[in-house]
Amino acid sequence: MLELSFAPKADGSPLSLVVLGAHADDAEIGCGGTILRLVESGVPLHVTWVVLSARGAREAEARASAEAFLAGTSADVRIGSFRDAFFPHDPGVKEFVEALKHEVAPDVVLTHTRNDLHQDHRVVCELAWNTFRDHLVLEYEIPKYDGDLGSPNAFVPLERRHVERKAELLLAHFATQRDKHWFTSDVFAALARLRGLECRSPSGFAEAFHARKLSLGLPAS
């Protein structure tokens, strides 16, 4: 399969990422393996990691997990306390996300997919597109009871170690989620294995994204 690359920037400046999740653990589930691979690659990075809903124990979990996934990387971790499941009715969510565009100009935005059946996830995707209109937005997927997984068209091949490390960190940092029937290492690995099959990943594992708009840079004529 042909590849586009997260290569170091020509001017030497860090690749700027905004990782945007509605709730604690969303981004880790959706793109944690991709983050681990990028961090491991040594490409200079600056990551603005945003979680919109995390209160009490969930806030502590979110911060610890972000630090673990981004270990050794330049990062700005921001945690909001908006009410879970009420994002469509809270104008403060829009104001929080909208403010980001005045502070960061990301090369890539990683966020929820617009067809996610969780109302908070859909709102975050919509706000990401409204806020970052001239940026590359990659929409990650979250497995859940609703069965809303679609047909992604962009893939990041992972090594088995990335998949295993992702599951290890998720289970280690989100104790409040361990009683959920879907919050298991085999669920995370199974989806990565399926996406690996779809993109012929050499290791058999990958994470997948919906890339709705891409601007392709071609050599000058």
pLDDT category at 215 given cuts 50, 70, 90 is: confident
b/e code 28-43 from CB counts within 10 Å (16+ = b):
bbbbbbbbbbbbeeeb
Q: Specify the amino acid at residue 194.
A: L
Residue 202 has pLDDT above 70, yes or no: yes
Q: Per residue in 128-166, pLDDT tens?
A: 999 999 999 999 999 999 999 999 999 999 999 999 999
Residue 2 has pLDDT above 80, yes or no: no
Q: If you average pLDDT over every residue of the chain, what do you get?
A: 95
CA–CA dist 27, 49 (Å, integer): 9
Angle between helices 57-69 and 160-173 (to 10 degrees): 160
Please provide the size of the chain in residues. 221
3-state secondary structure of 93: helix
Domain parsing of the chain, residue ranges: 15-211
CA–CA dist 2, 217 (Å, integer): 14
- State the CB neighbour count (10 A cutoff) for residue 124: 26
Q: Per residue in 88-101, pLDDT tens?
A: 999 999 999 999 99
Give domain 15-211's CATH superfamily. Answer: LmbE-like (3.40.50.10320)
User: Which pLDDT does position 38 carry in this prediction?
Assistant: 96
Q: What angle do CA 191, 193, 194 make, to 5 degrees?
A: 65
pLDDT category at 175 given cuts 50, 70, 90 is: very high
- State the CB neighbour count (10 A cutoff) for residue 108: 18
CA–CA dist 220, 104 (Å, integer): 29
Residue 3 has pLDDT above 70, yes or no: no
Name the CA dihedral angle for 26, 13, 75, 195, rounded to a multiple of 10 degrees: 20
CA–CA dist 76, 35 (Å, integer): 14
User: Which pLDDT does position 190 carry in this prediction?
Assistant: 98
Query: What is the spatial order of strands in the sheet that 108-112 belongs to?
Result: 74-79, 45-53, 15-23, 108-112, 136-140, 205-211, 154-158
Taking every pair of C-alpha atoms in the chain, what is the biggest distance, in angstroms? 58
Residue among 165, 97, 157, 176 nearest 131 (CA): 97
